Amino acid sequence: MLIYTHPACLQHDPGRAHAESPQRLHAVLDALRGLPQERMEWREAPAASRDQLAMAHTRRLLDAVLIEPLSFPHQLDADTVMSQGSAQAALLAVGAVLGAVDAICGEHPDTPARQAFCAVRPPGHHATMSTPMGFCLFNAVAVAARQAVLIHGMERVAIVDFDVHHGNGTQAIVEHDPRILYLSSHQLPLYPDSGGADERGVGNVFNAPLPAGADGEAFRRAWRETLLPELDRFQPQLILVSAGFDGHWLDPLAGLLLKEADYAWIARELLSAADQHCGGRLISTLEGGYSLSALGSSAAAYVEAQLSR
């Protein structure tokens, strides 16, 4: 498995009291370094280019993030704050996923690995085509899906999102593109108050909302009965994952009751689908997770389940 990260992702600092802190990435990296390393290849994330970002974002959003403001901290919305290092961190967060797509899906793949995990921040799945929001500056999975379709010629790319918050930005970017499937389980009602089961795009969007208090069995049932069958029907050539671990029962920002075993379970299910449909090509990137201990242990359980198959 490829592990993409970059120390500059630690330089995005929304403020001491902000939930999306650099300590989140430290927790994930420490946990991943505690796993057996013989099947992990660590790579430094490249930076995404403006042209690559433009595959999923408008000039308005690019300018909002990349044109340096007069002073920092710079508030983009009530939840989304930029520091001096934020723009570079965001470019690297997207570049990590693009690097993984190129390494694994290129005409001449530069690695025998077929899975990657991108340990980067800031997260991305709330960023829409034109608006940064919800701690997110650029939408890495949406840009990567467009890269797979437009540059690598793929006809069917699936985005899987199990973050506790609905990936409204990802859905909005891809919901009119039948080449890209979007599958999401999430708590509802909860920020951003989207992701109802009736939201279907052009038949390429499937949401399985869960109520507060839903446990691992409800989570697994939603995937087993509603979402994974759609993944099988789509027969993707690549699976991209918005891997948010804020559905854990310890997370302070939500109310699901998931445990590490549930993240290991979804990892095995997604890897099985990837093996069946797309030669094992499964690329995940870090989204949410705000209990440091739960984030580290959950990310480790998710990656370890793929390493130990």
Query: In one letter, which amino acid is 244?
Result: G
Distance in angstroms (rounded) separating the CA atoms of residues 27 and 53 = 28
Residue 56 and residue 97 in contact, taking contact as beta carbons nearer than 8 Å:
no
Residue 187 main-chain phi, psi, to 5 deg: -80, 140
Distance in angstroms (rounded) separating the CA atoms of residues 48 and 54 = 10
Other CB atoms within 10 A of residue 16 CB:
6
Question: Sheet containing 205-210: which strands, arranged edge to edge?
Answer: 41-44, 2-5, 115-118, 282-286, 238-243, 157-161, 180-187, 205-210
* Listed residue (130, 147, 126) closest to 58, CA to CA: 130
Rg (CA), the chain: 17
Which one is catalytic: 57, 126, 186, 277?
A: 126
Reported as type and span, the H/E element at residue 289 is none
Reported as type and span, the H/E element at residue 160 is strand 157-161
Say whether 126 is catalytic: yes
Q: Which residues are catalytic?
A: 126
